[in-house]
Structures are given as C-alpha cells and as structure tokens.
Structure 1
Amino acid sequence: MHRIIYRVVLLLAISAVLVACNMNDKKISGWEINDVYHSTIITPNSSTGGKTYQGPPINTMDEANTYEMFSLRAEQPKQGAKTYELNAQLTYFSQWRYYDSAMLENTPATTFKVVGREAGACGDRGCIFREVVSIQLPEAFLKDKMKKGFIITLSAKNGMKTELFVSPQYIQGYMQAVNGFN
C-alpha cells in the first residue's frame, strides 16, 4: 500500500515539475535584465569615432537540431543615429539550407543579409554547416517590443524555417545598456 502511495505522489510531483517547465513565464525578472545589462560589451570604434554595443549571445537548439546563437548589436557613429541589428549564427548537420529571407513579426524583413557560410568537419552524422545572417532593426521597433519580446522567422531555400525569440528581458537589459533607460 505504501509503495502505491509513494508511486502516485512521485508521479504527481514529476507531472507538476513538467507542467511548470512547460509554462512560458511572462514575468520579467530583474535579475535577467541586469545580467543582459552587465553583459553588454561597449567598445570604441576607432574607424568611425563612435561606439559598438554588443549584446550577450542567446544560445538555443530547435526541434530540427539547429544550434542557434544570436544577439543584438548597435553601432553609434560619432555623429548621427544608432543602427541596430540582430546577428544570428545557425549551425546544423546534413545539407546546406541556404537561409535567404526573414519575417519580423509576420512582416518581411527588407534588410536581411547573409554574412557568411561555411562547412566544417564531416562525420557519422554528416557535415557541420554554419550560416551567419544579419537583420537590421529600427530602434522604435525594439522600444515597442520591450514588454513582449519578438520572434524572427528565418526561411531557407530548402523550405526549412527557424524561429528566434528575443525575450523582453533581453531587450530591456540591452536597451538600458545602450541608452540608459528601461
């Protein structure tokens, strides 16, 4: 009898943990915002006389086994407005995907750019492929998404789609580092 009760309690505890892990916590944590704020690297740009603001990388893996590493970056020239972009490095096995476009919150991103592509070592799982892409983002868009975050959907010639989620915590911490406000 005790074994049955123990098993039922254990099953309920495991179920509760799995349900909790499955819930997307929309509450913004001050710790996460501060982590991004303190991890943003600000460097002088000697060629323009301005500054570069490099946000910390976000590292994820999707269901298609694509390793995604992406971050926000801003350039502040000595004179003029800052320009913002999201840089993404996508690493995967099998065949080239040839990412060629992006949707920013269901709107085509007109500033999509392929920065580079390279094939690496080959083994039992196939070869390692890496594509680096960049999408420019208006400052007004980032300010507008500070409460909910945003999704960029990258599309490839082979039909593969990859979604990148930039959380509101990340945007808030990054914008605080770049502009000094929440």
Structure 2
Amino acid sequence: MIDKKLAEGIVASNRKVDFCMNCAEAKQARRAKNKQDTSTSAPTDEPGATLCIDLKVDIAPDRLDLKHILTSVDHATNYICVYLLRKKSEVEGLLEDFVKRCCKHLRFHKDFGGDAVLYASYIRNYLPTRANADHASPIEALTGKVPDVSYILRFGAKCMSNITHAAGKSARKQTEKVL
C-alpha cells in the first residue's frame, strides 16, 4: 500500500514478524458449504398417500356416512390433505375426476392422463398455499427461493365479476378474468 501510494500515515518497519497461527488459519481457503441437506432427515420431494382402512380402531361413519379416510401428505412441506370417503372405490373416482378436469383444460388426449396428473402436481407445487408460512408455495418452502412461473401454461375458464362501489351510486363495473 505504501509503495503504490494507496494510503497515507502508515509507518513502515523492517522488523521481522513472527509466525502467527491465527493469521495462517484465517488465510486458508474454506471448503464450499453444501447448499442441500443430504442427511437422512432431509425433506424429500415425494408425496405420500395413505388410505386408512385397516385400522385397529373402527371408524364410526359420520353424519354423511363417510367412513374411510384418504390422507395425502407432501413430506417436503408437511402439507396434508384429507378426503373422507364412503367406499374405498371412491379413491379411484377422485383421481379420475382430477385427471379429467386437467385433460379438458389442457386439451390432452385420453392417453395423456398420467401426464395431466404430473402437470397438475407440478402446478400445485409452484403455486402459493395458505398451509405454509407467508403463503409460500411448497417449492419455496422447500428451497427458500421464490419460483419462476412464467413458463407455466395458462389454462382455465373466463368468468365475469361484478364490482360494486359503496360510495355514491352503486355503479357496477364488470371485469373479465381467467380463473
């Protein structure tokens, strides 16, 4: 710094400097820290689903005669979704309904039902949910980064909404939006 005249007021001395262990350790390069948790308790991207039918305790039918429970768990964000069913065979119907809606909106052929389910689960992972803190998406809760959703295809139905204003005349304003 003195030779290049980058600083003023520094006194240069020619005395010998002893070896300093703290200085040597501070100058060492550090290993890069892993950005992902690789331990056995790390969150996984795999969802799990359980149909509770073989319980040791009998589930009494509720007022709507629903006596089976389908529990769907996203282990990455601990998001739980529970469906109550009358019969075990309704699980297939629930999933088929979901696939049909996705196929209709995306104009998939019937042979692409599996792709519709994969795409729907992909979308659900990238959209905000009230189940997480600050309405974060499951991917954001898992990685800590806000996801980029600009490349997701837009689909849905057009709908009209009436907006009434309390002040003055109750003027109705209609806006067209995509749900």
Q: Same fold (TM over 0.5)?
A: no
Greater radius of gyration (CA)? 2
Q: TM-score if structure 1 supplies the norm length? A: 0.29
The structure whose residues are more often strand, as a share, is 1
TM-score by length of 2: 0.29
The higher relative CO (CA closer than 8 Å, separation ≥ 6) is in: 1
